[in-house]
């Protein structure tokens, strides 16, 4: 489970990296079998749902992957954010969907590496999740 402070930190990092405000919700995503889900609400707000079941060692990558979707991809407003957890099924991914997922993976990996390299070493040793996120608050907008 994420703390309120961690959720607020993720939201701040998402705003920095995606260049727009992003609402972070810790809830089981609407789509079956995923740990995270990025979408746009009908009112235009960007939303990321993060499952409380994400293993700790995967959390940072999942967070950055979902932020990457909002930084790199265009979402049409929809009511997916209202769907109950685990009620939407995944269809066979299209070539375009695979490209978007690979793009988000690559961006997340780049940010993760950058965050590790620029994190305060002492903070990273004590709290690597927070250390990387705090470092990413300084990620230059021109690098996105």
Amino acid 143: pLDDT = 56
Q: What tokens does 50 get?
A: 């993060």
The domain over range 4-143 is classified in CATH as 1.10.10: yes
Strand order in the sheet with 46-50: 22-26, 46-50, 36-40
Are the C-beta atoms of 38 and 69 separated by less than 8 Å?
yes
H-run or E-run covering 54: none
Amino acid 121: pLDDT = 98
Are the C-beta atoms of 77 and 40 separated by less than 8 Å?
yes
Q: What tokens does 107 get?
A: 């961006």
| Positions of E strands within the chain | 22-26, 36-40, 46-50
Amino acid 133: pLDDT = 98
Are the C-beta atoms of 62 and 68 separated by less than 8 Å?
no
Are the C-beta atoms of 130 and 6 separated by less than 8 Å?
yes
Q: Report domain extents, the chain.
A: 4-143
pLDDT by 10s per residue, the chain, length 144: 899 999 999 999 999 999 999 999 999 999 999 999 999 999 999 999 999 999 999 999 999 999 999 999 999 999 888 899 999 988 887 898 889 999 999 999 999 999 999 999 999 999 999 999 999 999 985 455
Are the C-beta atoms of 56 and 35 separated by less than 8 Å?
no
């Amino acid at each position: 489970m994420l703390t309120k402070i961690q959720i607020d930190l993720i939201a701040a990092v998402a705003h920095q990296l995606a260049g727009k405000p992003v609402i972070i919700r810790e809830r089981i995503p609407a789509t079956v079998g995923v740990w995270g889900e990025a979408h746009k609400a009908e009112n235009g707000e960007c939303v990321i749902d993060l499952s409380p079941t994400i293993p700790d060692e995967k959390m940072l990558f999942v967070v950055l992957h979902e932020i990457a979707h909002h930084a790199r991809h265009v979402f049409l407003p929809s009511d997916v954010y209202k769907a109950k957890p685990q009620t939407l099924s995944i269809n066979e991914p299209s070539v375009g969907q695979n490209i978007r997922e690979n793009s988000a993976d690559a961006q997340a990996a780049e940010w993760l590496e950058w965050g590790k390299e620029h994190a305060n070493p002492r903070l990273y040793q004590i709290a690597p999740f927070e250390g990387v996120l705090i470092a990413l608050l300084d990620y230059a907008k021109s690098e996105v």
